[in-house]
Amino acid sequence: MKRAIFVITIIIITITFGIIELHSVSNVLTQMEKHVDALTTEYQANEDNITPLVSDVDDFKDFWEHNENWLCYIFNHRDLSTITDSINRLKANTQNNDYDSAYSELALLKEYSTKSHHIMGFNIHNIL
């Protein structure tokens, strides 16, 4: 009986954590997508001089780093660091007023935020 209670407790805890994790990851990715969309609009509006947008990139970076910390408890660090690297490149390109490179980096981040729903989510492709 004790063992049955132990097993049922494990199942309940796993399901609870699974639901919380799915919900939280989806939330982070949706917010990230919104951030990237907002940045893209700003970059398009300031095509001639994007350097002042560094503070916005910093805000985005803070947002990501805050979430990356707990995502590291679940996902592979190396997979997450590709997004961090991309944000760092975006910041450097913005400081250098390199619109084209910064814009392509934003496109990459948009791709990460949309595709990660599939990669980090619960679906048959990930299972198999």
Partner 1 sequence: MIFTLVCRSIILYILILFLIRIMGKRQLGEMQPFELVITLVIADLATIPMAETALPLIQGIIPLLTLVCIHYFICFLSRKSTFFRKFLNGKPIILLDPEGISYDNLKRVNMNFNDLLEGLHTAGYFNLEELLYVILQTNGTMTVINRAPYAPLTADDLKIKKEQATLPMIIITKGKIITENLKVAGIDEKFILKYIKQVGFNSIKDILILTLSNTGKIYVQPRHGKFKVINTNYAGGNW
Residues that bind partner 1 (CB under 8 A): 3-4, 7, 10-11, 14, 17-18, 21-22, 25, 72-78, 120, 122, 126-127
CB closer to partner 1, 12 vs 107:
12
Output the CA–CA distances (angstroms, integers) from residue 124 to 120, 127, 128, in the order listed: 12, 5, 6
Burial profile 77-113: b = 16 or more Cβ within 10 angstroms, e = fewer: eeebeebeebbebbbebbeeebbeebbebbebbbebb
Whose tokens are 């805890």? That residue is: 13
**Least distance (Å) between residue 127 CB and partner 1:** 5
CB closer to partner 1, 44 vs 126:
126
CB closer to partner 1, 49 vs 76:
76
